Each structure stands twice: as structure tokens, then as C-alpha cells.
Amino acid sequence: MSARAARRSIAQAQRTVLKVGSSSLTKPGGGIDAARVTQLVGVVADRIAQGSQVILVSSGAIATGFPMLGLSHRPRDLATQQASASVGQGVLLAHYSAAFAARGITVGQVLLTADDMTRRSHYRNAQRTLDRLAEMGVVPIVNENDTVATDEIRLGDNDRLAALVAHLVHADALVLLSDVDGLYDGPPGKGDARLIPEVTDMAELSDVAIGGVGSGVGLGGMATKVEAARIATAAGIPVVLAHASAAREALAGDEAGTVFVPTGRRTPTRLLWLGHASTPQGRLHLDAGAVKAVVGRRASLLPAGVTQVEGEFTAGDPVDLLDQNGHTIARGLVNYDSAELPGLLGRSTRDLARERGPEYEREVIHRDDIVVFDGAPRD
């Protein structure tokens, strides 16, 4: 697909995930900027009037809330961030609700955590909810559940959340709105930095200096946006990164910001979340035979192939799989607790079932719960 075709796909998308950052919704020192919210809602409402569905991934809860707690800047400690999000999320949603209601549109709040999305029993609920809201003409307003997310189970930034949601809802396009005009080949506004209008191969960015910090009120920087584009394009979804003031042009497929051309096909949604949104709670070391089976044949991981267990985890937690050289080759959802697993290592499931009962004939990790990372050796 060419860059022009990617922009055309975005313009014609029936379902679009639109992500907006904190700095595009709030004042420089924090607090909601009602005029900016109203302007963004107007663009989204016009898009919906054209017959498209929009899922809005919105930052801004913490940035909205911390001034209301008497703070002069975004808090750094997790507990105060959670308190700020608790206060700010309701205010932010109230502004969205009022602005959309003025255009005859209802909104629905959807708060997600990475833990919700990686567990088999949970992620389909989010998928069904988002699908149903969109089908009923409701605009889902998605955010990470900052009020309860901990360092261990948080996604960390809404750019990545938006890319994963785009895959979750089978979106036709992802639009990332920021406080910069797009991706530059150097620090914007400094020296002779130039806007990169299109990216057809993410490998092209290996020599580009990409910043990793965001504004004073937000969390994400350019690095998180590029990573979001990498996730989405690898799943076959075109992406455009543009300034929030150019939202209308970006959605229309005009020459705004930077367009990222799709490079791959969709993969199972839960595996995308597992690979990009989960935090491993432990590590399993594999022998050569198990590595070949998991990576080369995409087989399940059996107790006989595990040589060492690290960390503390419970059944259902994500764990990393390492080869004999200590390289991480895959991640999966384990079927055993860390306390129980060492006694099973090197044993066949048949022997374990005979000695301990039929429930021990199961895999350590089923192949449907394993995502193999790029670059893992296949021989």
C-alpha cells in the first residue's frame, strides 16, 4: 500500500480509533480546556454524521484532576496520580458528555487495564462492549483505568492503548492527535528538523532521533507514538499522526502530519495484547527441544522442556520464555503456580498424570496462549 492509499483508507474508514493526548485537551498548567474539548467533539461529530463510527481514546484524567487537588504540577508518585485520575476522570467525561449531547450524541465510558485484556476470560468482554456501543451510535470514550492500575499491570501510555484498541475493535484506521505536527527527523523547532510526511517501513526510522518524554501534563512522548504506529501497522491498520488542530484534515485523508503505511496482517487480538500490553511475572528457561517446538512448530510448552523457573506467579499470569542463552523468545499465560511448577520440570505429562492425577496432563502453556517474538530462532 502506498502512502496516498493509506490516507485514502483513513478517509474512507468505517470505524476509526481516534486518540487525543492530555496536552491537546488541557491547559499548560493542568485543568480542562473546555474550548479544545468542544472543538474536538465537533470534528468527531461531523465524522459520525458522514456515517462512520469513532472510538475515542482520551488522555487527560490526571491532567484535569491534579489542579483540583491543589497541586501545581503532574504528580510523580502512583498514589497521587490515582487520586488525580479519580477526580479528573469524572470532570473530563462531563465535558465530553455535554459537548457531544449538544450534537445529539451519547457517550459511554470504558476504562481498561492491561490485566483485563490479557486474560482469556476478560478481553472478550471489552471487545463486546466496545462493539455494541459503536453499533448503537454511542461514542466509547476509552482510557486506562488509572485509578486502580499499578506499575505492574498498567499499559503506561494511551498511545499504545489506542493501537491495541484499534486491533481489538477491528478498526479500519488509527489517528493519533498530539501537540506536534507529526514525526520529525530531529527535535521539532530546533535546527533544520524536517517533518517526515510518510513512513512505509518502520526500519526507516532507525536513524531518526525520537524523543521519549511528553509534555508537563501528559505522559507519552514521540517514542510512544511511534511504538503505537508500529503495533497498528504490523496488524494491517493505517495510522496518521497529526497536530490536534489538524484533526479534521487527518480524518479526511489530507496531507496532514505523518502517515504510517500498514506492513502486516491482523493477528489474534489477545496475543497482540499479550505481547505488547502485559508485564511478565516470571521467567521460564527452556531446553533446545522446547525452543524448537514452541518457536518452530508453534507447539505447546510441556513440563519436560522447562529447565528453570524464576519469579513468583500464579496460574494465568504472563511469563517470559527464554532459550538456553537467556534470550527472551516468547511470552505466554502459564497454567501452574510458580510454587508448584519446579516439581514438574523434566517430567512427561503422561507420567505426571499417572502419579498425580489427570489434571496434571495439561501443558505448562497452551500454544494458543503463546506469542512468539520477532527474531526468535526457528531452528
Nine-digit cell at 269? 487480538
Q: Give all domains of the chain, ordered by start, each with its CATH number.
A: 3-273 (3.40.1160.10), 280-372 (2.30.130.10)
Q: Hey, how many other C-beta atoms are within 10 angstroms of the C-beta on 121? A: 8
Strands 258-260 and 198-199: parallel
Per-residue pLDDT, averaged over 170-186, amounts to 91
Among 113, 126, 139, 143, smallest CA distance to 52 is for 139
Calpha distance 168→332 (Å, rounded): 19
Per-residue pLDDT, averaged over 139-160, amounts to 70
DSSP letter for each residue of 234-290: HTT--EEEEEGGGHHHHHTT-S-SEEE---S----HHHHHHHHH----EEEEE-HHH
Per-residue pLDDT, averaged over 313-340, amounts to 93
Among 56, 59, 47, 60, smallest CA distance to 13 is for 47
Calpha distance 143→162 (Å, rounded): 9
Per-residue pLDDT, averaged over 92-113, amounts to 94
Who's near 84: CB < 8 A, 6+ residues apart? Answer: 61, 62, 65, 66, 69, 71, 74, 75
pTM: 0.76
Nine-digit cell at 271? 496475543
Burial letters for 68-80: b for 16+ Cβ neighbours within 10 Å, e otherwise?
eeeeeebbeeeeb
Looking at residue 269, what is its pLDDT?
64
Note the pLDDT tens digit of each residue in 63-87.
Answer: 888 989 999 888 888 889 889 888 9
User: In this predicted structure, which of 30-44, 239-253, 365-379 has the lowest mean pLDDT?
Assistant: 365-379
Most confident of 151-165, 318-332, 349-363: 318-332
Per-residue pLDDT, averaged over 220-242, amounts to 86
Return the higher-pLDDT residue of 203 and 237: 237
Looking at residue 214, what is its pLDDT?
47
Q: Say if residue 216's pLDDT is above 70.
A: no
Looking at residue 219, what is its pLDDT?
41
Calpha distance 324→331 (Å, rounded): 15
Ramachandran area for residue 298 (φ above 0: left; ψ -120 to 50: alpha; else beta)? left
Q: Find out whether 294 and 370 touch, Cβ atoms under 8 Å.
A: yes
Per-residue pLDDT, averaged over 41-55, amounts to 96
Q: Say if residue 134's pLDDT is above 50.
A: yes
CA-CA distances (angstroms) from residue 135 to 51, 55, 125?
11, 11, 15
Q: Say if residue 275's pLDDT is above 60.
A: yes
User: In this predicted structure, which of 189-203, 216-230, 341-355 has the lowest mean pLDDT?
Assistant: 216-230
